[in-house]
Structure 1
């Protein structure tokens, strides 16, 4: 851990930003884009989905990946110009753009975005973080002039609705302590930073109420859209689960043999596929929450008593969602066991839980 990012040499500052930028898209995605040799199609699909990429822009996986990288590069360039125009020095703007669009959150300053004390910079970062949490397939449609896709795509629509509602609830919770304008500014920025899993920080979250911390924790658990650079469980899985409950209830109360449609947006899903989708979403959500709970238990035993349960839940949700926000628990001086536990949470959160469990099974039992 670097205690002061602003004291690092510029080479290390850029390296930290670069590895977050590359990590946002995924190393496997990068290698498949560059080295698109005679690998069988099935093998390409396996590697592609190992990075949790659920969408295809073109029929070819390699063409899809190359388009995604062009989108990523273009957004990084545009974000750099926007942040520079908002008042950031060009070096800071480049590094911040790389870590914002990749929803990584590293900064080259001593105190994250709080170091700038700038409303303009915070306002510029909010849409950049939001774009990082939206599926690349949606970005591709936007570039083709289909702006309506932001509302037509059910996952994107719910990402935006949840961002708006979460920011509103957090603003109301902080109203008494911060006042209207300051509460709106801080709460909106921090909730967007949390739910997009970016991790930029402008305030001391440790001084906020337990309710505020838990609201932010919920945002980090939900995360952004599948097919984006954001972490968390992913909004589409939560959408499938909630719709699945209603679908199952309607199915139980309908006459035997009646067809009960299951729709995600305008797309009707075949009944034979609904069970698989619900099973996948339920399994990932269940395992995600189990590992979150295990991390909380470990941290409760290694954290000083001055930190509350809400602080601990927040810290583990931040680690497992690959966010980076902190209430003050995480730091260079924290116990080794805490570092190991949070490192494990970060690992499974970044690689997705099922691939990690398969890897652990392979280590102990080999290929069967």
Structure 2
């Protein structure tokens, strides 16, 4: 776990070098660097902005320190996309696929990155299969977006970041720039693909289509995203800014799926309709809930993961019902086809509860820090909670707070921490911090 926490922190720092080198090379007028200096590129002369962008990319978050992605050199556009594409599956998973051999401790590395699902008995074979599936889906997604009318450079970048549920864009207004119904509705299944567990993809590609409805998480991916989208549609049409049912459906469905899959693509912006940050508070909180839950464990999505939410809800029902059973009763808890005895059920329930409580705790702490550092009365509480949940859930949707000038330094550092713990699901980071404090004599 310590290796994973340190590894991800190091990747965030080293991944900032392309931003720093290109920005400073242009700033200093070094021959051979063609791009003209812009305010967007100049922002990356600040190391904190460069590290923020790198960490946002590798964690698959998508919050950005750019205010106009279109003017970035294509080199940096591609680097931003590549960080999310690699980070979506996992930096350590990629390293395991390339360098590890069976029996070399690859299981420990794999699990340290908040993964436990296996396709094959061998972890090395599992991660290599994951990457082959990911590459196949990437090419299919590129083709689908190109056929829907997106230019090829945009199709390549948005297919990679969409499937990785990252959300970086090469346009100033994310997907809203294209203002295309076809592109919106092609991206929805691409984002959904990224939120489904890779073992399920593998079985479906093998011809076992039953997993669409037999796998608990996959059923709930479609179920709760459908329910959340319907609820958001109602809020936006009957009490929100959209005058037609189709407009409310188009933007509500896209934004809820984008949030719940933790992708972060945005179509609700002021240039084409109504910015997400100006939606009613109850609509913003509905999207926030989607970011909190996230997608399936074993996918590229963030959040607390569906299986934890389901385990927690089933566990609560299990313990409430326990009151009505005699002490001698032998009970089982069924979760995703597994029958757990009382000890196993208690362990899984406690693990899920600990992650959820820690997630909410850090969400509250991050919200408190931002409320202290942001200009008073400029953003509502719903805006702030939304933004912190977006960072910690590795989503990338913004209510307008994140930016090179609008987000204070303390806010940037807070979001770096939120993105880091969100990607590793908190525990590895806490283990690393405990080790540091223990060595420093601050913890005994």
Shorter-chain TM-score: which interval? over 0.9
Q: Displacement of 1:310 after TM fit?
A: 0.5
1:240 to 2:311 alignment: yes
The superposition leaves residues 198-249 of structure 1 with CA deviations (integer Å, 9 ceiling, x where unpaired) of 0000011011000001000000000111000100000100100100011112
SS at structure 1 position matched to 2:323: helix
1-structure distance, mates of 2:156, 2:353: 39
2-structure distance, mates of 1:14, 1:25: 17
2:11 matched residue in structure 1: none
Following superposition of structure 1 onto structure 2, how do residues 336-351 of structure 1 map, counting pairs within 5 Å? 336-351=409-424
2-structure distance, mates of 1:84, 1:363: 49
1-structure distance, mates of 2:340, 2:330: 12
1:21 matched residue in structure 2: 85
Q: 2:299 aligns with which of 228, 250, 264?
A: 228
Q: Displacement of 1:37 after TM fit?
A: 3.3
1-structure distance, mates of 2:102, 2:262: 36
1:33 to 2:104 alignment: no
2-structure distance, mates of 1:348, 1:63: 27
Following superposition of structure 1 onto structure 2, how do residues 190-269 of structure 1 map, counting pairs within 5 Å? 190-203=255-268, 204-269=275-340
**Greater Cα shift, 190-199 or 29-38:** 29-38
1:58 to 2:120 alignment: yes
The superposition leaves residues 166-188 of structure 1 with CA deviations (integer Å, 9 ceiling, x where unpaired) of 00000000003202110000000
Following superposition of structure 1 onto structure 2, how do residues 130-149 of structure 1 map, counting pairs within 5 Å? 130-149=192-211
Q: 1:70 aligns with which of 110, 132, 139?
A: 132
1-structure distance, mates of 2:254, 2:102: 46
Q: Displacement of 1:165 after TM fit?
A: 0.5
Q: Displacement of 1:306 after TM fit?
A: 2.4
- Number of residue pairs matched by the alignment: 366
Q: How high is the TM-score relative to the length of structure 1?
A: 0.97
Q: Displacement of 1:73 after TM fit?
A: 0.3
Q: 1:332 aligns with which of 383, 388, 404?
A: 404
2:61 matched residue in structure 1: none
Q: How high is the TM-score relative to the length of structure 2?
A: 0.81
**Greater Cα shift, 271-280 or 215-224:** 271-280
1:355 matched residue in structure 2: 428
The superposition leaves residues 111-162 of structure 1 with CA deviations (integer Å, 9 ceiling, x where unpaired) of 1000000000000000000110110011011101112211110111112111
Q: 1:180 aligns with which of 242, 245, 263?
A: 245
**Greater Cα shift, 103-112 or 247-256:** 247-256
2-structure distance, mates of 1:168, 1:148: 26
**8 Å contact 1:232–1:349 — kept in the other structure?**
yes
Structure 2 unaligned regions, length at least 5:
1-64, 269-274
Structure 1 residues 115, 33: CA separation in 2 closer, same or farther (over 3 Å shift)? same
Structure 1: 4+ residue segments shifted above 4 A: none
**8 Å contact 1:250–1:260 — kept in the other structure?**
no
2-structure distance, mates of 1:55, 1:347: 21
1-structure distance, mates of 2:331, 2:321: 7
2-structure distance, mates of 1:163, 1:218: 11
The superposition leaves residues 315-356 of structure 1 with CA deviations (integer Å, 9 ceiling, x where unpaired) of 000000111111111111121111111111111101220000
Q: Relative contact order (alpha carbons < 8 A, sep ≥ 6): 1 or 2 greater?
A: 2
The superposition leaves residues 253-293 of structure 1 with CA deviations (integer Å, 9 ceiling, x where unpaired) of 11121112200143212322111101100100000000000
2-structure distance, mates of 1:222, 1:197: 9
The superposition leaves residues 80-134 of structure 1 with CA deviations (integer Å, 9 ceiling, x where unpaired) of 0000000011111001011001000001111100000000000000000011011
2-structure distance, mates of 1:352, 1:266: 24
**Greater Cα shift, 179-188 or 329-338:** 329-338
**Greater Cα shift, 264-273 or 246-255:** 264-273
2-structure distance, mates of 1:60, 1:344: 33
**8 Å contact 1:247–1:260 — kept in the other structure?**
no
Q: Displacement of 1:38 after TM fit?
A: 6.2
Root-mean-square deviation (CA), in Å? 1.3
SS at structure 1 position matched to 2:339: strand
1:105 to 2:167 alignment: yes
